Structure 1
Amino acid sequence: MNHHETAGGRGHRGRPDLADAGISKTAGEYTDRFLVLLAPGAQEEGMATLRSRAGTEPAERIRPDVTESTAEVLEQAGSVVFEDLGVAVVQAAPDQRRAVMETARDEPAVLAVERERVLWASQLTESRAETATADYLRGYHDGVEELVQHALERIDTAALREPGTAGFDESLVTWGLQAAGVPRSAFSGQGVRVAVLDTGVDTGHPDLTARLEGAASFVPGQAVQDGHGHGTHCVGTACGPRTPGAAPRYGVACEAEIYAGKVLGDGGGGTDTQILAGMNWAFGQGCRVISMSLGSPVGPGERPSRVYEQIARRLMRAGTLVVAAAGNESERPHVVEPVGHPANCPSVLAVGALDSGFAVASFSNAGLNPDGGQIDMAAPGVDVLSSWPQAPGHRRLRGTSMATPHVAGAIALFAEAAPGASAAELKSFLLAGARRLPLPAVDVGAGLLQAP
Structure 2
Amino acid sequence: MSSSNSLPSDLEGQVKFLKGNVTGLLKEVGMATVTSTDPDFAAKAGKIQGVSAVIRDAEIQWLNPDNEKTFDAAALNVNPASSGDSEPYFFLQWGHTAIQAPAAWNAGARGKGVKVAVLDTGFFLDHPDLKSNIASSASFVPGEPAQFKSIPNVRTSSHGSHVAGTIAAADNGLGVIGVAPDAQLILVKVLRDSGSGSFSWMMQGILHAVAEGADVINMSLGAGLPRNGKFLDENGNMINDTKAVQELLNAISRVTTYATQQGVTVISSAGNDGNNGNKDQSLVYIPASAPNVISISSTAPTGWFNNPLTTNLDGVASYTNFGTPAVSFAAPGGDFSYPTNELSSLGIPVWALDMVLSTGTERGYNWNAGTSMASPHAAGVAALIIGQNGGSMDPKKVEAALRASADDLGKPGRDPYYGHGRVNAYKAVSAIQ
TM-score normalised by the chain length of structure 1: 0.68
Question: What is the 5 A alignment of 1:233-244?
Answer: 233-244=162-173
1:183 aligned counterpart, secondary structure: helix
Residue of structure 1 equivalent to 2:55: 114
Q: Match for 1:442 among 390, 411, 416? A: 416
Q: 1:415 to 1:37 in 2, by over 3 A?
A: farther
The CA deviation string for residues 125-153 of structure 1, in whole angstroms up to 9 with x for no partner, is 547799xxxxxxxxxxxxxxxxxxxxxxx
Q: 1:121 to 1:178 in 2, by over 3 A?
A: farther
Residue of structure 2 equivalent to 1:95: 40
Q: 1:323 to 1:38 in 2, by over 3 A?
A: farther
Residue of structure 1 equivalent to 2:4: 39
The CA deviation string for residues 4-32 of structure 1, in whole angstroms up to 9 with x for no partner, is xxxxxxxxxxxxxxxxxxxxxxxxxxxxx
Residue of structure 2 equivalent to 1:287: 214
The CA deviation string for residues 162-207 of structure 1, in whole angstroms up to 9 with x for no partner, is xxxxxxxx75361111111211113111011111011122111111
Q: By how many angstroms is 1:124 displaced?
A: 7.0
2:406 aligned counterpart, secondary structure: coil
Q: By how many angstroms is 1:299 displaced?
A: 3.2
1:314 aligned counterpart, secondary structure: helix
1:340 aligned counterpart, secondary structure: strand
Is contact 1:189-1:415 (8 Å) kept? yes
Give the Cα–Cα distance (whole angstroms) in 1 for the partners of residues 29 and 223 of structure 2. Answer: 21
Q: Which amino acid aligns with 1:360?
A: V
Residue of structure 1 equivalent to 2:357: 385
2:417 aligned counterpart, secondary structure: helix
Q: Match for 1:55 among 18, 21, 27? A: 18
Q: Match for 1:422 among 386, 394, 397? A: 394
Q: Between 272-281 and 359-368, report the one with greater CA deviation.
A: 359-368
The CA deviation string for residues 73-115 of structure 1, in whole angstroms up to 9 with x for no partner, is xxxx3xx211123322233542223445x559xx6x3455433
Q: 1:300 to 1:124 in 2, by over 3 A?
A: farther
Give the Cα–Cα distance (whole angstroms) in 2 for the partners of residues 352 and 56 of structure 1. Answer: 45
Residue of structure 1 equivalent to 2:130: 208
Q: 1:97 to 1:397 in 2, by over 3 A?
A: same
Q: 1:171 to 1:211 in 2, by over 3 A?
A: closer
Q: Say if 2:287 is the partner of 1:342.
A: yes
Is contact 1:121-1:401 (8 Å) kept? no
Q: Which amino acid aligns with 1:380?
A: P
The CA deviation string for residues 292-323 of structure 1, in whole angstroms up to 9 with x for no partner, is 11121223678681111121111111111221
Is contact 1:339-1:365 (8 Å) kept? no
Q: Which residues of structure 2 form unaligned runs of 5+?
A: 72-88, 150-156, 230-245, 302-311, 335-354
2:224 aligned counterpart, secondary structure: coil
Residue of structure 1 equivalent to 2:265: 321
Q: 1:376 to 1:301 in 2, by over 3 A?
A: farther
Residue of structure 2 equivalent to 1:359: 315
What is the aligned residue count? 345
Is contact 2:68-2:368 (8 Å) kept? no
Q: Which amino acid aligns with 2:300?
A: D
Give the Cα–Cα distance (whole angstroms) in 1 for the partners of residues 173 and 51 of structure 2. Answer: 49
Q: Between 373-382 and 297-306, report the one with greater CA deviation.
A: 297-306
2:203 aligned counterpart, secondary structure: helix
Q: 1:331 to 1:82 in 2, by over 3 A?
A: closer
Q: 1:260 to 1:184 in 2, by over 3 A?
A: same
Q: 1:173 to 1:213 in 2, by over 3 A?
A: same
Give the Cα–Cα distance (whole angstroms) in 2 for the partners of residues 129 and 362 of structure 1. Answer: 16
Give the Cα–Cα distance (whole angstroms) in 1 for the partners of residues 420 and 225 of structure 2. Answer: 23
Q: Match for 1:261 among 177, 180, 188? A: 188
Q: Which amino acid aligns with 1:443?
A: Y
Q: By how many angstroms is 1:415 displaced?
A: 0.8
User: What RMSD, in angstroms, separates the aligned Cα atoms of the two structures?
Assistant: 3.1
Is contact 2:64-2:195 (8 Å) kept? no
Give the Cα–Cα distance (whole angstroms) in 2 for the partners of residues 129 and 191 of structure 1. Answer: 32
Question: What is the 5 A alignment of 1:5-20?
Answer: none
The CA deviation string for residues 223-278 of structure 1, in whole angstroms up to 9 with x for no partner, is 21123510000000111123441x343x1110001111111112121111221222
Q: Say if 2:410 is the partner of 1:433.
A: no
Is contact 2:8-2:51 (8 Å) kept? no
TM-score normalised by the chain length of structure 2: 0.71
Q: 1:97 to 1:210 in 2, by over 3 A?
A: same
Give the Cα–Cα distance (whole angstroms) in 2 for the partners of residues 124 and 223 of structure 1. Answer: 18
Q: By how many angstroms is 1:446 displaced?
A: 0.8
Is contact 2:169-2:176 (8 Å) kept? no
Give the Cα–Cα distance (whole angstroms) in 2 for the partners of residues 436 and 116 of structure 1. Answer: 40
Question: What is the 5 A alignment of 1:173-184?
Answer: 174-184=93-103
1:196 aligned counterpart, secondary structure: strand
Q: 1:244 to 1:222 in 2, by over 3 A?
A: farther
Give the Cα–Cα distance (whole angstroms) in 1 for the partners of residues 416 and 31 of structure 2. Answer: 31
Residue of structure 2 equivalent to 1:400: 371
Give the Cα–Cα distance (whole angstroms) in 2 for the partners of residues 124 and 363 of structure 1. Answer: 15
Q: Which residues of structure 1 form unaligned runs of 5+?
A: 1-35, 60-76, 131-169
Q: Match for 1:224 among 136, 146, 151? A: 146
